[in-house]
Amino acid sequence: MSNKPGIQEFDAPGLGSLWHTEERAALLNAVRKLSYGAVRTAAEELDHQEAEIPDELIGKLADLGLFGIMIAKEYGGLGLGVFEYCLASEELARSWMSVGSIIARGQGLGTQVKDQETHNKLMQRSAEGDWIGAIALSEPQAGSDLASVETEAVREGKNWILTGEKKWCGNALSADFIQVLARTKGEDDELVALLVRKERGVFPKGVTGTSIDKIGYHGIISWNLTFDHVVVSADDELTSFYAPAENEEPHTSGGAFHAVQHGLNIARVQTAARAVGLARAAVEDTTVYLQTRHQFGHPIGDFQALRFELATMAAEVEQARAFYRQVAHDLDAGESVERETGMVKLLASEMAVRVTNQAMQLHGGNGYSRDYSVERYWRDARLTTIFEGTSEIQRRTISNRILPRSPLE
Ligand X SMILES: Cc1cc2nc3c(=O)[nH]c(=O)nc-3n(C[C@H](O)[C@H](O)[C@H](O)COP(=O)(O)OP(=O)(O)OC[C@H]3O[C@@H](n4cnc5c(N)ncnc54)[C@H](O)[C@@H]3O)c2cc1C
From 327-335, 347-355, 386-394, 399-407, span contacting ligand X (CB under 6 A): 386-394
Phi, psi of 65 (to 5 degrees): 80, 20
- Residue 70's closest CA among 91, 85, 58, 52? 85
289 binds ligand X (CB under 6 A): no
Give, as one character, the DSSP assignment of residue 35: I
393 binds ligand X (CB under 6 A): yes
Q: Residue 261: what residue type?
A: Q
Nearer to ligand X, 197 or 396 (CB): 396
Q: Residue 118: what residue type?
A: T
Q: How many other C-beta atoms can be found within 10 angstroms of the C-beta atom of residue 409?
A: 6
387 binds ligand X (CB under 6 A): yes
From 90-98, 134-142, 188-196, 232-240, span contacting ligand X (CB under 6 A): 134-142
383 binds ligand X (CB under 6 A): yes
What minimum distance in Å lies between the beta carbon of 390 and ligand X?
Answer: 3
- Which of 3, 144, 233, 291 is in the footprint of ligand X by CB under 6 A? 144
242 binds ligand X (CB under 6 A): no
133 binds ligand X (CB under 6 A): no
Question: Side-chain half-sphere of 78: how many Cα atoms within 13 Å?
Answer: 24
223 binds ligand X (CB under 6 A): no
Three-point CA angle 166, 172, 178, nearest 5°: 75
Interface pattern 84-103 for ligand X (x via CB under 6 A): --------------------
Q: Give 76's contacts (C-beta < 8 A, 6+ positions apart).
A: 68, 123, 124, 127, 128
Give the whole-angstrom CA distance, residue 90 versus residue 99: 10
Give counts: helices (H), strands (E), the chain.
Answer: 13, 10
Nearer to ligand X, 26 or 147 (CB): 147
Position of minimal CB gap to ligand X: 143
Give the whole-angstrom CA distance, residue 114 versus residue 117: 9
Give the whole-angstrom CA distance, residue 377 versus residue 372: 10
What minimum distance in Å lies between the beta carbon of 223 and ligand X?
Answer: 9
From 31-39, 136-144, 189-197, 289-297, span contacting ligand X (CB under 6 A): 136-144
What minimum distance in Å lies between the beta carbon of 324 and ligand X?
Answer: 19
Give the whole-angstrom CA distance, residue 26 versus residue 185: 50
Give the whole-angstrom CA distance, residue 375 versus residue 372: 7
Nearer to ligand X, 36 or 168 (CB): 168
What minimum distance in Å lies between the beta carbon of 156 and ligand X?
Answer: 25
Of 90, 388, 392, 409, the catalytic one is 388
Give, as one character, the DSSP assignment of residue 142: B
Give the whole-angstrom CA distance, residue 367 versus residue 290: 12
From 53-61, 123-131, 168-176, 228-236, span contacting ligand X (CB under 6 A): 168-176
What minimum distance in Å lies between the beta carbon of 220 and ligand X?
Answer: 8
- Which of 34, 39, 136, 182 is in the footprint of ligand X by CB under 6 A? 136
- Residue 111's closest CA among 128, 92, 94, 87? 128
Q: Is the distance from CB of 19 to CB of 326 less than 8 angstroms?
A: no
Give the whole-angstrom CA distance, residue 301 versus residue 3: 17
169 binds ligand X (CB under 6 A): yes
138 binds ligand X (CB under 6 A): yes
400 binds ligand X (CB under 6 A): no
| 22 catalytic residue (yes or no) | no
- Residue 171's closest CA among 205, 219, 122, 228? 219
396 binds ligand X (CB under 6 A): yes
164 binds ligand X (CB under 6 A): no
390 binds ligand X (CB under 6 A): yes
- Which of 143, 209, 255, 367 is in the footprint of ligand X by CB under 6 A? 143
Give the whole-angstrom CA distance, residue 113 versus residue 160: 14
Nearer to ligand X, 112 or 138 (CB): 138
Q: How many residues bind ligand X (CB under 6 A)?
A: 20
C-alpha dihedral sign at 137, 140, 145, 151:
negative
- Which of 35, 222, 224, 397 is in the footprint of ligand X by CB under 6 A? 222
Q: Which residues are catalytic?
A: 388
Contacts to ligand X by CB under 6 A: 135-138, 143-144, 168-170, 214, 217, 222, 383, 386-387, 389-390, 392-393, 396
